[in-house]
Chains A and B, each alone.
Chain A
Amino acid sequence: MDIETIREKAKNDIRDANDAQACEVVRVRYLGRKDGELTNILKSLKDMSLEEKRKFGVGANELKIELNELIENKLKELSTKKERHLDVTKPGKKVALGHLHPLTHIDKQIRDIFSSINFTIVDGPELEDEYHNFDALNIPADHPARDMWDTFWIKQKTKEDGNKHIGKFLMRTHTSPMQIRYMETHKPPFQILVPGRTFRYEATDASHEINFYQVEGLMVGPDVTLANFKFVIETFFKKFFGKELEFRYRPSYFPFVEPGVELDIRLPGGKWLEVMGAGMVHRNVFDAVKYERREVQGFAFGMGLDRLAMIKYGIPDIRLFYSGDARFTEQF
């Protein structure tokens, strides 16, 4: 059978079809995968000579497209005839929207608040050296204060480009080394915020993980005071939790600040929660970055992002953050 004959026959059949079912019968007759009349011609192409292939192939393929179009148009025509009211009560199509990790949400909220009061966001390396993580922060080797940070040490001897007194390598135990890195290359006045991943060598449980997130803050200028710290941090927490809350400052000890304080907050109807360590930058830290300590003073603070997220979202176990479980992410 030649192509033109099929074309004529098929066109008639399509015209005569008067419902969707009849259309399908026609489609199968000509285009059915197993035994459609046109399909058979297309299949036979491979046994033909190249010249025949060219002759028949183009026409057959064009007809295939044409018939498909005609059937489709016919179907459209038929469906408009018996147009039903659109059933808007049918369920919506499921469109997948992804979810951000809760720590990403918290990180952004914190960054946004501090950015809005002119804190610059700074990034730092997670693989640190002993000098920046400890020595420059007034935590010398063999000092009992070092026991406050359980450290993951790096095995290989690695060198870093162009730095001198760096000591051994480690996974940073806090974001505080960025205080040093930033001050080494910048002059006050400034105020920075350093969010980032930190590491502690310890057994994991519901409230401890080997990696977690911290946010470090540092403000240095000619007359930055502890009273300024209280203003900045209380402003932040009120904005972050979106409600009035109580603050409690307790004396504390971190070798890189003097005086050092611990901050607790209490949400309406809740318990006191320890959220932050802070203090006035220690003179030895200013010495380490070659600032003239009589001319500058400033505050530094550090808080756990995971903990804030746990408080804000009511998450009971820190390990959920690092579980890779999409059912967890999808809640946020």
Chain B
Amino acid sequence: MKFSYTLLKQFLPKLKNKESVIDALSMYSFEAEEAEGNTIEISLPPNRYSDAVSHVGVARELAASFKLKLDKRGIKDLPYGAPNTKPKKGTKLFTVTVKDKKVCPRYSAQYFENIKIGPSPKWMQDVLNECGLRPINNVVDIMNYVMLETGQPLHAFDYDKLVKKGKAKLIVRYASPNESLVSIDGIKYELTQDMLVIADGEKPLVIAGIKGGTGCEVTEHTKRIIVESANFDFVSILKTSRKLGLLTDASQRFSHNLSTALVEIGLNRAEDALVKIVKAKAGERSDSQIKLPSKRLVKFSVESCNKLIGISLTEKQASTYLQELGFKNLKKNLWEVPKTRNDIETEEDVTEEIVRMYGYANVRPMAPKALLLPPETNDAVMLRELLRNKLVGLGFNEVYNHSFISNDDIIESQLWRENAISLANPTSAEFEYLRPTLMPSLLKNVEANSRYFEKVRLFEIGNTFLNVDGVARETSKLGLVMSEKGSGTFFELKGVVMSVLKGAGLSDFYMKEVHSKDNPLFIGGYLELKSGNIKIGYLGVSRERVSVAEIDLTALLPLVQGEHEFKPLQKYPTVMRDISMFVPIDVRIGELIKTIQEENTKLISDVDLVDEYIDDKWADIQSVTLRVMFEAKDRTLTSEEVDGEMKKIASVLEKEFGAKLR
């Protein structure tokens, strides 16, 4: 929000320059930044609007940090806070009706006559311009100027237009069905019944606290006016402003919970200005809250401040800071909060006031008292780290993709179509769904990277989302993709997955072939990775001939064993035998290997594929050579023993697969 250095200087003539103001605000109060000319850009925290969305409020902050005294006269010929007209409950000239005190806790209005519309003084126009407001005429400019000074938004009605219809009436009520309002700048707003308006007997004149409409606005012919100074419930203003998509200087202020005390301060100031600058004659004033609001008190002890921050201020030091900020000490440890400081409710709030004025730089760093214990380890984090390190060693590059994917991505990976979770407010169609799988993005990465690399090996570890029986399931997954120009990569990826799973400490797992025509991600079948009955992932070749694998780390985590156990090294030699055979073409090599292993689980330590050959001229057979490794823990195997085993293997293969040994 734009603030005027010129206007701040009216309150604090001793300010040195704009830079020092920006510095002091940033270090002691809130974020301030350099802007053009005499403008300062200030980002007020949402809880400081009530006291600081005004130049007097910002000046109060500066006065405290610079140890200066606030010049209550403000502008020289316009004393700030002079005595003003006493308000009454009812007035002769107009009536005010507030239907719901909860949404309009305070409504004050005052009659002025002898108005002569003209331009406002140049000094006023300068300040308005510095704050990004366009000067219009003396009355409207005073409304805005006083808002800048005090923080209280004001509105002026043309009294003569209000009285045309009998006694002037201002009614604070909710909009009726089908009511609308055309703003001064000619835009029509359809109102709904939860929107607060200020109406005359017939129709809405103003969207309360947000925007004025046509009908009773001040024009160059205006002679008499009513000035409104009111307070509205911030939630109501916030909702209406959001619903209409209408953000104004007034709505921004009202939606941040202003103090009702500002109502009077603002109207007093407006009266001053109208009388002194426009030479208007002030008339009756009404106020829905004549009784002064009770004092707001807060308990505060310097001991608790010191304990929270880790400093050792004296009571006197703390009191000085508080007094400089306008707090009043009532008795020991009891303070009255400045009227507009809505943000101060607790002892910690007061502590913050003191420590920021003391200066955070002056708080000395101190080592905490904590036990010398090792931190708890996080297995999920460790598993991810371990997998990453292994994959990098195997030549895979890590990528991060967005957590969101498009509708097209979802359609292509039909597996998840029904259960994908979507965003209510996506930024674009590209990012509409929460990714149920890492694959769509990884496949796109392969395509993009293939322009630069012959071989692409990528992995990503990230969270995926899926609706499972109406419950949103979030799962950590590892996705792997591999592709190489002119050659297949599937078996290398299969080897990578096996090594990585073993390396992660998963000893008991298997891969099961799944024939699936309806899964459009893969060509033909794919492998399902399982441990016991638990699915931990899949492995396949995509339509783009990219080898892909995805592992569910959430499922994997409880299955891995971190501890390694020593097994005696093999003392006796391993005996290797190759077995070559012709088998029907539809026999799966994985099945052959499994069958051989099961033939003698004690002696056979491993079975591997040495050679396979398919000749186009052969009808339905393939030639396969497997290598069988034999080991015994307690002796050297004799060649007769191994020959015997091989015979058994041969006969089993012949029986089960129709294998013809070569």
Contact = CB atoms under 8 A, between A and B. Distances in A.
Contacts of A126: 403, 463, 465, 474
A240 interface: no
23 contacts: A96-B395, A115-B375, A120-B376, A144-B234, A144-B256, A152-B426, A156-B421, A156-B467, A158-B471, A158-B472, A169-B472, A171-B423, A227-B365, A230-B366, A232-B368, A283-B346, A322-B401, A324-B401, A324-B442, A324-B458, A326-B397, A327-B452, A329-B397
A58 B662 contact: yes
Contact of B368 (A197, A219, A282): A219
B312 to A, nearest CB: 10
Given A119-B375, A280-B348, A326-B452, A104 B398 contact: yes
A123 B234 CA distance: 37
Given A118-B373, A226-B309, A227-B365, A147 B421 contact: no
Interface of A: 46, 50, 53-54, 57-58, 61, 95-101, 103-104, 108, 111, 115, 118-123, 125-127, 142-145, 147-148, 152-156, 158-161, 169, 171, 189, 191, 197, 199, 201-203, 210-211, 219, 221, 223-228, 230-232, 234, 248-253, 255, 258-262, 280, 282-283, 297, 321-322, 324-327, 329-330
Interface of B: 26-31, 45-48, 234-235, 238-239, 255-257, 307-311, 346, 348-349, 351-352, 355-356, 360-361, 363-378, 380-381, 385, 388, 391-404, 421-427, 431, 434, 441-442, 444-445, 448-449, 452-453, 455-459, 462-463, 465, 467, 470-472, 474, 580, 615, 617-618, 660, 662
Given A120-B376, A329-B398, 11 more contacts: A118-B374, A142-B238, A144-B46, A144-B257, A158-B421, A197-B462, A211-B402, A234-B365, A253-B46, A324-B399, A326-B399
Contacts of B377: 121
Contacts of B256: 144
Contacts of A122: 378
A145 B46 CA distance: 6
A259 B371 contact: no
A210 B424 contact: no
Given A111-B381, A152-B423, A197-B463, A57 B309 contact: no
Contact of A156 (B30, B401, B422): B422
A154 B424 contact: yes
Contacts of B445: 324-326
Given A158-B421, A224-B368, A283-B348, A103 B400 contact: yes
B348 A127 contact: no
A289 to B, nearest CB: 17
A155 B426 CA distance: 10
B370 A171 contact: no
A112 B203 CA distance: 66
B322 to A, nearest CB: 14
B392 A98 contact: yes
A227 B309 contact: yes
A198 to B, nearest CB: 10
Nearest to A299: B368
A95 B448 CA distance: 23
Contacts of B425: 152-153, 201
Contacts of A145: 46-47
A155 B308 contact: no
Given A123-B378, A155-B421, A226 B398 contact: no
Contacts of A54: 660, 662
A248 B361 contact: yes
Contacts of B45: 252-253
A262 B30 CA distance: 10
A94 to B, nearest CB: 10
B360 A261 contact: yes
A101 B352 contact: no
Contacts of B385: 108
Contacts of A260: 352
A280 B349 CA distance: 11
Nearest to B357: A251
Nearest to B255: A144
Contacts of B372: 118
A98 B30 contact: no
B310 A227 contact: yes
Contacts of A280: 308-309, 348
Contacts of A171: 403, 423, 434
Contacts of A154: 421-424, 434, 472
Contacts of A329: 397-399
Given A154-B424, A161-B471, A231 B365 contact: yes
A255 B256 CA distance: 14
Contact of A147 (B46, B378, B431): B46
B394 A225 contact: no
A231 B48 contact: no
A38 to B, nearest CB: 15
A226 B308 contact: yes
A230 to B, nearest CB: 4
Contacts of B351: 258-259
A225 B434 contact: no
A261 B361 CA distance: 11
Nearest to B404: A210
Contact of A121 (B47, B239, B308, B378): B378
A227 B449 contact: no
Given A145-B47, A155-B424, A211-B403, A189 B441 contact: no
A77 B434 CA distance: 64
Given A98-B392, A142-B238, A253 B47 contact: yes
Contact of B455 (A50, A96, A115, A261): A96
A122 to B, nearest CB: 7
Contacts of A232: 368
Nearest to B445: A324
A140 B356 CA distance: 26
Contacts of B660: 50, 53-54
B379 to A, nearest CB: 10
A327 to B, nearest CB: 6
B44 to A, nearest CB: 9
